[in-house]
Amino acid sequence: MFHSSSTPVNGSATEATHHQSTETAFKGNGVPPKPHVPRRDPVSGLVDQWHSQPTTVRVIHVGAGATGLCTAYKMRNKLQHYELVCYEKNDSIGGTWFENTYPGCACDVPAHVYTYTFLPNPKWSSYYAYSPEILEYFQKFYHDQNLEEFVKLKHKVLGAKWHEDKGQWEVEIEHGGCTFTDWCHILMNGSGLLNRWRWPDIKGLHLFKGPLMHSAHWDASIDYSGKRVAVLGTGSSSIQIVPQVQKAAQKVDCFLRSPTWIAPPMPRVPVETPTPEHPIPEEIPNPLVQQYFYKEHEIKHLEDNPEHHLKYRKQIEFAINRGFSIFYKGTEASRMAESYMRSEMIKRLGNHAELIEKLIPSWPVGCRRLTPGDGYLEALIQPNMECHFNEIECIDETGLSTSDGHHHEVDIIICATGFDMAWIPHFKLIGVNGIDIKKAWSPVPQSYLGIAAPGFPNYWVMNGPRGNLGNGTVLPCFEVQIEYVIEAAKKMQTERIRAMDVRADVTEKLNEYVDKWMETSVFSGKCRSWYKNNTVDGKVMCWGGSSIHYLKTLKTPRWEHYNIRYLGDDPWGFLGNGRIKAEVEDDFEGMTSYIRNSDHPWELH
C-alpha cells in the first residue's frame, strides 16, 4: 500500500510541487485542475498573486450516502476553485437506505424531518417513511441535481496517508479488482458509522445448513412464509423485522439476550387541512397512533402550501427537540418517561409475566437508541412466537443451543445483531509522523466535535465519535458539518494553508466536558449500546448535549482550535504582490466599495 508512482495534485501543495500535474487521478467533476498557484517573484521574493487569490482545492469524500450527496450539492453551491470526487464502494448511492432492505425497515423519526433541511418532500406517503421511499428521495436528489459527475460507484477506498510536505492525502482506491492512487488536499470521511454489519460471535454459526441472513444484508429471495425462523437481537433492526416475519412464518424463535425499552407511539402531529370536502381538520381519535398513511388531500395541501408545510415540519422538529429533557438522568422528565413506557409495555405485553420481567430494562429510557416498535410487543405475544432469554451457546446444522440446555431447531436464522462501529475508520488512515489512527485513537477516539482528529490534518469525518448521535434529527447535523468543511476549504485556499491540524489540548479539554456531561445523562446508564461500542461501561461516543446544542457549537468554526501550517511556511504569503483583485481587474465598484451614503457593511475582494 502507498507505493504508487502517481503524483500529487496541483494546487496548494508545497511550493516545490506547485507545477506538477495529476496523472492518475479521476477528475470528479470532469474538469482538469486549473490551479492558479503562482511562483514567487525571483527578484522581490513576493508571491505573485493578488491578495487572497484562491488556490484550487481537491476534495475526496469517502461514500455517497446522505453525507456524500449533500457534500457534492453544497460544494457546488458554496465553493469555487475546487475538485470533488465521492468514491462509493457500492454500485448505487444511498448508503444505509440502499443496503438495508429487510422487511419493515423504516425511519425512526417522522419522514417530514428526515430530509435535508433545504429540500422538503411534501409527498411522503407515511408518517414514518419506509426504506425504499427514503432511498427514492436520495436518488431523486442525486439525479435532479446532476450529482453523478461527482460520484464514482464501485470504488472502494482502502486507505489514506498524509504527506506533510505536500499538504495532501494520498488515497488508495480499489476498482474492478485493481488499485490506484488519488491525491487530495481535503479528505472527508462519510463512510457511515453503521455501514459494516456484523455476524454474532457464536460458535458454529456457519455450520447452519439453512439460510443464514443478516438484517443489513437481506436476501429477498429467501421465503420465510410457513417456515421456522430464528431472529437474534433486541436492537432497532430486530424490532422492525419481528412483526413482519411473525405474520408469515410458521413459528418464530426470538433470542432476546438483553432487555430493551420499546417506545410507545409519540403523539402524532396532524396535518391540518380543512377543505370544502373535509371542512373539519383531521381528528385523531387516539393521538398515540403509530404509523399513519397520509391522505391524498393532505399531501396535496402540503404541496400547494409550502408555508404550511414549513410550519408542519417545524412543529415536528420542535416536538423532537423538546423531548430532549428525558435524556437527563434522574429528572422528573426522565422518571415520567420511564414510568409511562413501563406501563405501556406492560399493557401491550398483555400481562405476559416472563416478558415483562425479562424485556423491561432496569437501565434508564434512552440509554440505547429508542425505536418506535410498531407492533413489536404485540407480535412477541402471538401463539407462533417463542422468546428465549438465555445466551446462545452454539449453532449447528439444524438450529441453536441455548445455555439452559435446549436445542431449537429452525429453518432460517436472521441475525439482527448490529454493526462493527466505525468509530475508527474501517479503511487505513495514517496521519502526521506516520501514526495510524487505530493507535492514536486507542483506547478511545480523540475526536474534536465529532468531525476532526489531532494529528490528522485536513481530515474531517461526518458524524464521527462524539458527534450528534443519540437524539434529534441527524441530517441537519450533517449539513452543518459539511458547511464547516466548506468554510475550512475556503480558508485554506485563500490563506495558502497547507495543513489544518486540530489541537490535541483543546480536543482533550472538549472531551473532559463531554465526559462530565455524560454523567448527567441517561446515555451513561448501564445498558450495552453501540453508543459505547457495544459495551456496558465504555465511554459514550455521543455529543454532550442536545442536537441543537451541537448545531450551535459547530455553526461557528473556531479556527483558533487548529494548528495551522502554511505553504512555504509563510503565514503572509496570501498578501501576494500588494494588490487586490479589484485593482488587477480595474473594477470601479470593487475599488470603491467602502465609499457609501450610510454605515452599511462593505467588503473588498
Binding positions for ligand NAP, 196-235, rule CB under 6 A: 200-202, 215, 232-235
Query: What sign results for the dihedral spanned by CA atoms 332, 333, 339, 340?
Result: positive
Nearer to ligand FAD, 37 or 266 (CB): 266
**Does 374 contact ligand FAD by CB under 6 A?**
no
**Does 147 contact ligand NAP by CB under 6 A?**
no
Within 10 A of 83 (CB to CB), how many other CB atoms are there?
A: 28
From 40, 123, 156, 297, residue interacting with ligand FAD (rule: CB under 6 A):
156
Alpha-carbon distance 79 to 185, whole Å? 14
Alpha-carbon distance 354 to 373, whole Å? 19
Minimal distance, residue 527 CB to ligand NAP, in Å? 8
**Does 108 contact ligand FAD by CB under 6 A?**
yes
Alpha-carbon distance 555 to 481, whole Å? 8
From 92, 258, 290, 593, residue interacting with ligand NAP (rule: CB under 6 A):
258
Contacts for 356 with CB less than 8 Å, ≥ 6 apart: 345, 346, 349
Nearer to ligand FAD, 59 or 109 (CB): 109
From 116, 137, 530, 543, residue interacting with ligand NAP (rule: CB under 6 A):
530
Measure Cα distances from 475 to 194, 258, 265 in Å: 15, 30, 22
From 135, 474, 499, 518, residue interacting with ligand FAD (rule: CB under 6 A):
474
Minimal distance, residue 1 CB to ligand FAD, in Å? 13
Measure Cα distances from 71 to 55, 453, 484, 535 in Å: 19, 20, 11, 32
Within 10 A of 561 (CB to CB), how many other CB atoms are there?
A: 18
Residue 490 near residue 555 (C-beta atoms within 8 A): no
477 contact choice in ligand NAP, ligand FAD, none (CB below 5 to 8 Å, kind-dependent):
none
Minimal distance, residue 369 CB to ligand FAD, in Å? 9
- Which range touches ligand FAD (CB under 6 A), out of 8-16, 89-97, 293-301, 590-598? 89-97
- Helix orientation angle between 296-304 and 306-322, rounded to the nearest 10 degrees: 100
- Alpha carbons within 13 angstroms on the beta-carbon side of residue 126 total 17
**Does 416 contact ligand NAP by CB under 6 A?**
yes
Alpha-carbon distance 582 to 144, whole Å? 36
Print the binding letters for residues 376-415 with ligand FAD: x by CB under 6 A, - otherwise.
----------------------------------------
From 67, 115, 121, 273, residue interacting with ligand FAD (rule: CB under 6 A):
67
Residues listed for the chain: 605
- Which range touches ligand FAD (CB under 6 A), out of 82-90, 252-260, 307-315, 580-588? 82-90
From 13, 355, 392, 497, residue interacting with ligand NAP (rule: CB under 6 A):
392
- Select from 587, 579, 597 the least CA-distant residue to 53: 579
**Does 195 contact ligand FAD by CB under 6 A?**
yes
From 25, 75, 85, 109, residue interacting with ligand FAD (rule: CB under 6 A):
109
Q: How far does Cα 307 stand from its chain's mean position?
A: 28
Binding positions for ligand FAD, 276-305, rule CB under 6 A: none
- Alpha carbons within 13 angstroms on the beta-carbon side of residue 461 total 29
Query: What sign results for the dihedral spanned by CA atoms 509, 511, 515, 521?
Result: positive
Task: Please confirm whether the linkage preceding 601 is cis (ω < 30° from 0).
Answer: no
Q: Which residues bind ligand FAD (CB under 6 A)?
A: 62-68, 87-90, 95-96, 100, 105, 107-109, 114, 156-157, 190-192, 194-195, 237, 427, 462-463, 474
Binding site for ligand NAP (CB under 6 A): 106-108, 194, 200-202, 215, 232-238, 240, 255, 257-258, 369, 371, 392, 416-419, 528, 530, 534
